[in-house]
Structure 1
Amino acid sequence: MDLKARVGVLLPTVQAQLTASDDPREVVRLAVEAEGLGYDSVWANDSILTPRLEALTALTAAAAVTERVTIGTATLIPVTRRPVNAAHSLASLDRLSGGRLVVGVGAGFPGRFGVPLHELSEVPWERRFTRLDETVALWRQLWTADAPVTVDGKVLRLNDVPPTIRPHTPGGPPIWLGGSTPAALKRTGRMYDGWLPYPPRADDYAAGLEVVREAGRTITPALFVSVAITSTVEEGEERLRSYARTNYGMDLEELRQIQAVVAGPPEHVARYLQTYVEAGARHLICRLAVTGLDEYRHQLKLLAA
């Protein structure tokens, strides 16, 4: 089945995805293998709540050893970084990659996946969406300005900030928003270059994309989805149960209410992904539901085939 969409993979940067004998340096080599197998992109996710390779560090290493694939964050949590420093890091990464960077960003979610991030970063949880939007606007200013930048926003207030190094991409790398709340959909349409949600049903994706497009801007519709290729659907379900417990500390049924997840024979997985393509998705970012680099390599080849 030709999905008629770009397909990328999330690199296994999270410690929970590695076995005790795995060499974390292999994660970078996996980016080369993904490129060789024909994938369109490689990605890293971001958090300071669980042990993992830092996203921009991992992607910088991946950019140095690849030539063609897009490299991206899925997603970066800007609140964990100083806005000016993040602008500098992202511009440098885009430049070093030759303009292959896509910056997926998110504001964090209520509960254990969001509030602690803000507490550890010493940043208030309140007005987090305003902070994110103002941070992104600041990045774009610093990437294009010829003189010091002053910001007098609702949250960010900075005076005479020197412009950063110019990214390779004119105007800076594209920035995609992760999120599917009604407010996030409208904000995506107004000021972001792409949409990167993971709704558990394709019809939810289609409805959300319709709202995003109401603003009239051209955006890249993407999807974050957890995937595994197995011999049977039953084997796939068991793998997803283990994956949900290991990576999220929750039951599969609970995860399925939040995220797009699929496992089973190739034709089963392809049919599931095709429903999202028919709903409008044009870039699929697949997180392989595995623990261990050997199994990751195996799944990387199965999904590519």
Structure 2
Amino acid sequence: MDEDIRLGVLLPTGQGQWGEGTDPRRLVDFAVRAEELGYASVWANDSLLQPRVEALTMLAAVSSVTERVTIGTAALMPVLRRPVQAAQALASLDLLSGGRLAVAVGAGFPGRFGRPLYELSEVPWERRFARLDDTVALWRHIWTTRTASSYQGPVLRFDELPPGTAPYRAGGPPIWLGGATPAALARTGRLYDGWLPYPPDAADYGSGLADVRGAAAGAGRAPGAVTPALFATILITEDVAAGRRALDAYSRANYGLPLEVAETIQTMIAGPYEHVAERLGRYVDAGARHIVCRIGALDLSSQLDQLGRVIGLQESLKVKRP
């Protein structure tokens, strides 16, 4: 098993994270700075419900000015795009980045950030998980088929498919899943290349990862077939109280929820460096190896300041050896 701990960072593509009067083209500079500081990856999230730079457009811009970092979606909502067009866009992005793309996907969840997206896309909410898995299977079919073909899945059916653009890597970019329900854990182990959840309790992460690995073994996959990742909202502050106040403002601005509600749903950690490192260390001990950090700040200057602080956590997050 890979014992290295990798840190990634979410690009603040939402308009609410730029700050008033900020030129959004500075987001490209943010990605360049992340690479210079030693981050392993930069990520963009996806939505139609908040003003933001579209995820694949953002990553295309980033791919042209970086050389080493993985560029990824955290998470892409395939329902927002026509499936064949999305396969072409992702293959093109993998080509242009020299094979540096990782695609974390999700189906959405009930509430504000779920069903309304399906309504905007004129796609039924029902069978959304089957549709997600089928879309990923279609992408892989297109990426690996060099002649005209057809595709007949449980949800998607195409009698005539022209040859698609071949990605940089044989088989296409790795695809991760972001869910943590029992069904999602089983599907991750059987079908996906990585797991990117955000459970608020490290113990739940550990038990979930065990289920993912059990499902992978049951499907005859290699022990390291699924990358164990974590999505965590992070803020380094002078003390825990100040950090919680800042995360509360961030949560209300992004979700319309107070921190005490949001932190029961996802991983959110703020406070002095040692406190954040200790809390993240629990997830490392539970098996997480690639941590995607969303910085909980509401303007680009603060995001850039935190970018230099958060990368220091990588040195502290050592794997405990027997």
What interval of TM-score do these two structures reach, taking the shorter chain for normalisation? over 0.9
Amino acid at match of 1:122: E
Whether contact under 8 Å (1:144, 1:163) holds in the other structure is no
Q: Counterparts of 1:243 and 1:4 in 2: how far apart (Å)?
A: 30
Does residue 278 of structure 1 match 2:285?
Answer: yes
Deviation at 1:139, TM superposition (A): 0.3
Cα distance in 1 for residues equivalent to 2:294 and 2:87: 26
Counterpart of 1:237? 244
Task: Say which is worse superposed, 249-258 or 151-160, in terms of deviation.
Answer: 151-160
2:276 equivalent to 1:253? no
Residue 290 (structure 1) aligned with residue 278 (structure 2) = no
Q: Give deviations 1:18-77, integer Å, cap 9, x for gaps.
A: 212111000011000000001110000000111100000000000100000000000000
What CA distance in whole angstroms lies between the structure 2 residues aligned with 1:93 and 1:256? 34
**Where do residues 113-132 of structure 1 align in structure 2 (5 Å cutoff)?**
113-132=113-132
- Conserved in 2, the CA contact under 8 Å of 1:4 and 1:277? no
Distance 1:42 1:97 in 2: 13
User: Could you tell me how far apart the structure 2 residues matched to 1:227 and 1:5 are?
Assistant: 16
State how far apart, in whole Å, the 2-side matches of 1:291 and 1:38 are.
23
Alpha-carbon distance in structure 1 between the residues aligned to 2:285 and 2:237: 24
- What amino acid sits opposite 2:109 in the alignment? F
Structure 1 residues 25-40: aligned runs within 5 Å: 25-40=25-40
Secondary structure of the 2:64 match is: helix
For residues 203 and 4 of structure 1, the distance between their equivalents in structure 2, rounded to whole angstroms, comes to 21
One-letter amino acid matched to 2:307: L
Could you tell me whether the CA contact under 8 Å between 2:146 and 2:164 is conserved in 1? no
- How far is 1:163 from its partner? 2.3
- Residue 229 of structure 2 is aligned to residue 222 of structure 1: yes
Per-residue CA deviations over 1:126-171 (Å, capped at 9, x if unaligned) read 0001101110000001001022231222211111111211101111
- List structure 1 segments (4+ residues) > 3 angstroms apart after TM superposition: none
Consecutive unaligned residues in structure 1, runs of 5 or more: none
Distance 2:288 2:26 in 1: 30
Percent identity between matched residues is 60
Does the CA-based 8 Å contact 1:244-1:251 persist in structure 2?
yes
Is 1:85 the equivalent of 2:85?
yes
* Number of residue pairs matched by the alignment: 303
Equivalent position amino acid for 1:22 in 2: T
Match of 1:117, SS state, is helix
Cα drift, residue 111 of structure 1:
1.4
- Alignment-derived partner of residue 208 in structure 1: 208
1:301 aligns with 2:269: no
Paired letter, 2:12: P
Answering whether residue 184 of structure 2 is matched by residue 184 of structure 1, we say: yes
Letter in 2 for 1:203: A
Tell me the TM-score normalized by structure 2. Answer: 0.93
1:266 matched to 2:259 = no
1:258 alignment partner AA: I
CA distance in structure 2 between the aligned counterparts of 1:290 and 1:31, rounded to whole angstroms: 16
Paired residues of 1:232 and 1:265 also in contact (CA < 8 A)? yes
The letter of the residue matching 2:235 is: A
Aligned counterparts of 2:191 and 2:310: Cα–Cα separation in 1: 33
Secondary structure at the aligned position of 2:119 is classed as: helix
Secondary structure of the residue aligned to 1:245 is helix
Does the 8 Å CA contact 1:223/1:284 hold for their aligned counterparts? Answer: yes
Q: How far did 1:300 drift?
A: 0.3
The code of the aligned residue for 2:310 comes to L
